[in-house]
Structure 1
Amino acid sequence: MKKLTAISLFSGCGGFDFGASQAGVDFLWANDIDPVAGSAYRSIFPDVEFHVGDVREVRFFPRADILIGCYPCTGFSLAARRRWKEREERDLTAIKGNFLYLEFLRVLEQSNPKYFFVENVRGMVSAKEGWFFQQQLEGFKQSGYTVHHNLLHAPNYGLPQSRQRVFLVGVRNDIAQEFEYKFLPPTHGPTAPRPYATLRDAIGDMPLWPKGEFSEQCFHGHYLTRNRKRAWDQQSYTIVANADHVPLHPQGEPMSFVKKDTWQLNGDFNRRLSWRECARLQGLPDNISPSGTLSDCYRVVGNAVPPPFGKALLTPVINFESA
C-alpha cells in the first residue's frame, strides 16, 4: 500500500506530525511562524520541507491526502466577531487575519485532501457561547466535509500527563459515503489493554540534576497557589509552555496544602521538570533539538500536540485505507 501523504499548518515542533508518522503517514510540507519551532521540527523531520513564515503570505500548497493544522484561537474575540458581522458583505478579506482558521479553510479548499485533523483547547467549544466552534463546523461543512469532534484525554492513549484537548476530524464527503470515522477507543486505563503510563515510566531513567536544562527561577507566590507535584506512580500535571510554571519533578516529598490558594514545598528536592523531561512527558522523541534559549525550549515543547494523540487519531484512517 502506498503511504498517505500530508501537509501541516501551524505545525509547531511537530508533535502531531510525529504521531501521525508513527501511524504511517508521509509528510511533504509543514509551516510555522516561529523559527525556534521550525528548528525543532527539522531535528525530527530533516527531510520534510519546512516553511518558516506567516501562512497568510503563502499562496500555493502541495496537494496531499491529509491536512493537519493546530491553529491558535487568538483572533476569536468578541470584537472580531462584530467586525465579521458588520463588514462581511463589503470587505471580508480585510478581516481574514483575525480568524486563522480561515487560513486553514483556504488551504483545505485549495488542496482538497481526503481528510483533515484539527487540535485545539477544550475552551474553544464553549467560547462565546459556542459561536467560534460552530463557525468552524459550518465552514468545513460548506467545503464538502463530514466533521467529527471529540474531547480526548491523553492518559487514555499512553501519555503520562493529564492533558485534554478537542480534536476535529474531517472526512471528504465522497469518502464519508463509505467510511464512518470513529475515534480510537482508549488504549490505556482500567478497562483498556494496557495500564496508564506513569512519570516513572517516562522519565525514571533520566538524571536527577540535568544542569542547564531546567528553570531555576524562584517559586513565586502564584506558583505556590496550587499543588505542582505528582508522585512517581502518577501522571504529570499538564506540561505548559511557560518555563516558570511547569510542574515539579516527582522526586522528594509531596507539597502540602496550607489554606485556600496556598501550598507549601517540603524537603530538599524541589525543582521544575527540565525541558527534556517535559519533552518525554509530551511523547516527543529524545532527538528533538530546538534552537534558542532555555525558555524557547520549554515554549516549543509545551505548545506541542502530544504525538500519542496524532497516532490515535490517524489510526482509524490508516486502517480504512489499508483494508
Structure 2
Amino acid sequence: MLTAVSLFSGCGGFDFGASKAGIKVIWANDVDKTAALAYKSLLPDVDFVQGDIRKVLDFPKADVLIGCYPCTGFSLAARRKWHEREDRNLQHIEGNFLYREFIRAIDYVRPKYLFIENVGGMTSADGGWFFKQQLEGLRDKGFVVKHHMLHSEKFGLAQTRKRVFLVGVHKDIAESGFTYNFPTATHGEKLLPLQTMYDVLNGVETNIETDVCNNPFHGHYLTRNRKRSWNDPSFTIVATDSHVPLHPAGEPMVKVGKDNWALQGQINRRLSWKECAIIQGFPVDKLKFDAPLTQKYKVIGNAVPPNFGYAIVKPVVEYEESTCLPNTFAEALEQMNSSGY
C-alpha cells in the first residue's frame, strides 16, 4: 500500500478521496485549528500535527507527498478586487511563498509522487512568476511535473468548481516507463449524468438557526446571480459565509441592471454549512466537530473535494498496485460500503 504525507491538509478532502483509492495517509499538517478538528473526525487514524509548517523540522518518509498550499491573492477574484491597490504586491505577501515549505519537505519525505492543488489563477499570478518558481523548484528536486485544470461537475460533484492540479513523478519512475495522464471526465454528455442539487440535497433537513449564515444580503452579494435551480449543480462553494450560494428553493434571482441582481419571493437563504459539505462531496455523518459557524463554512469552502483527490491519485495507484479501481469516487464508496469497510 502506498503511503502519503499531507501538507496544508485543511479538513482532509483530498486525503479522504486519496484514502478511498487505497493510499494510506500517515501524517498530515495544517495551521487551522478548526480544520484540524474536522480532519481528525474524518480521518482519525492519521497522525495530524496542527501548527505552522515553518516550525516543523522533520517529516516522515512516504511514497506520496500531497500539498494544497494557500492561494492568498492568486485567485482571479482576489486580483480583480485588489488590482488598483499599489500595495497589493503578491511578492510582498508572505503566505504566497509557502510553496517553498512543500519543496523543503521533499528532502525529508523522499516521495515518488507529488500531488498539488490550487486555484487556476496560480498559473498566471504576477505574470506567471509564482508558477514558474514552483515548477523550477519541483524539477530541481528530480520530478517530471505536469499540470491541468479539472472541473468538479465532470467528476461527480453537484457543483461547478475548477482547480489546477500539479502532478510530479520522480524521474526514476518516469524513466522506467510510467507516464502520468490526468483523469478524463466521468460525468457529462454521453457519460454518467451530471449531479444536480436535487440529487444531493433533496430531503436533507436543515436547522436554519444554527447551520445557516443569516447575515443580510449585502450590496456585493447582489452584483451577480447566486441562485441556481434544483436541476443544476451549485455555484462554487466558497470559504466566506456571507458569499455562499443560495439554496435552490423559491424563485430565481432576476437581473435588474449591470452588476445588479434582485431576490424574488420570500424563500431566499444561503446554503447551510452542512449542505455545502454535501455539495463538496463530504460524508456529513463523519464530519463531527465543534466550531463557530463562520469557521465551519471556511474549512468546508477551502477544502479540496474528495472526488478530485480520488480521481487524481487513481492512475498512480493503479500503476503501483497493478490493479483497476472503480471509475468514480461514488463507486469506490459504494464498493467499500458493500464490503463492510
Task: State the TM-score, normalized to the length of structure 1.
Answer: 0.91
Q: Call closer, same or farther: CA 1:184–1:97 in 2, change over 3 Å.
A: closer
1:223 aligns with 2:221: yes
Q: 2:290 is aligned with what amino acid?
A: S
The partner residue of 1:66 within 64, 67, 71 is 64
1:315 aligns with 2:314: yes
The partner residue of 1:122 within 120, 123, 126 is 120
Q: 1:169 is aligned with what amino acid?
A: V
1:207 aligns with 2:201: no
The CA deviation at 1:79 is 5.5
| Distance in 2 separating the partners of 1:322 and 1:9 | 24
Q: Match of 2:337? A: none
Q: Is the 8 A contact 1:75 1:99 kept in 2?
A: no
Gaps of 5+ in 1: 84-94
Task: State the TM-score, normalized to the length of structure 2.
Answer: 0.87
Q: Match of 1:298? A: 297
| Distance in 2 separating the partners of 1:131 and 1:200 | 42
Q: Call closer, same or farther: CA 1:201–1:108 in 2, change over 3 Å.
A: same
Q: Call closer, same or farther: CA 1:129–1:97 in 2, change over 3 Å.
A: closer
The partner residue of 2:44 within 18, 43, 46 is 46
The DSSP-based 3-state class of the residue aligned with 2:116 is strand
Q: Match of 2:287? A: 288
The DSSP-based 3-state class of the residue aligned with 2:3 is strand
Q: Is the 8 A contact 2:230 2:249 kept in 1?
A: yes
Q: 2:212 is aligned with what amino acid?
A: F
Gaps of 5+ in 2: 75-86, 323-341
Between 216-225 and 232-241, the greater mean CA deviation after superposition:
216-225
User: Across the two proteins, how many residue pairs are aligned to each other?
Assistant: 308
1:190 aligns with 2:189: yes
Q: 1:218 is aligned with what amino acid?
A: P
Q: 1:21 is aligned with what amino acid?
A: S
| Distance in 1 separating the partners of 2:96 and 2:193 | 43
Q: Call closer, same or farther: CA 1:181–1:277 in 2, change over 3 Å.
A: same
| Distance in 1 separating the partners of 2:90 and 2:267 | 47
Deviations 1:257-310 (A, max 9, x none): 101111111111110000000000001111212332010100000000111100
| Distance in 1 separating the partners of 2:266 and 2:73 | 44
Q: Match of 1:88? A: none
After superposition, residues 1-323 of structure 1 pair within 5 angstroms as: 3-74=1-72, 81=91, 99-177=97-175, 178-192=177-191, 194-207=192-205, 210-286=208-284, 287-323=286-322
The CA deviation at 1:210 is 4.2
Q: Is the 8 A contact 1:78 1:128 kept in 2?
A: no
Q: Is the 8 A contact 1:256 1:265 kept in 2?
A: yes
| Distance in 1 separating the partners of 2:45 and 2:107 | 26
